[in-house]
Amino acid sequence: MHQNPTDRLVAGVLLGGLVTAVIVAALIWLGIPQHASVLVRVALPVGIAAAVLFPAPLLKRTVLRH
């Protein structure tokens, strides 16, 4: 299955946005401390989303390649 690189880029961006939105919603539902600064309230979901999304492509190019 050969996909256009642009399609893969757009799909990755949309998936990243969706994952980040879900994490933000979950953290709000769980109750991010209200006294936390804006930087912490933004950096925490972005950091979690990066930890979820970045390892998969790296593993597929290194350890899990055929």
pLDDT in tens, the chain (66 residues): 457 888 878 888 888 888 888 888 888 888 876 777 888 888 888 888 888 888 877 777 777 776
Model pLDDT, residue 1: 47
pLDDT of residue 54: 81
Confirm whether 66 is domain-assigned.
no
Confirm whether 21 is domain-assigned: yes
Instruction: Tally the residues of the chain.
Output: 66
pTM attached to this predicted model: 0.66
Identify the pLDDT of residue 46: 83
Does a structural domain hold residue 20?
A: yes
Task: Identify the domain containing residue 53 by its residue range.
Answer: 5-61
Please tell me the distance from the alpha carbon of residue 29 to that of residue 19, in angstroms, as a whole number: 15
Question: Could you give the number of structural domains in the chain?
Answer: 1
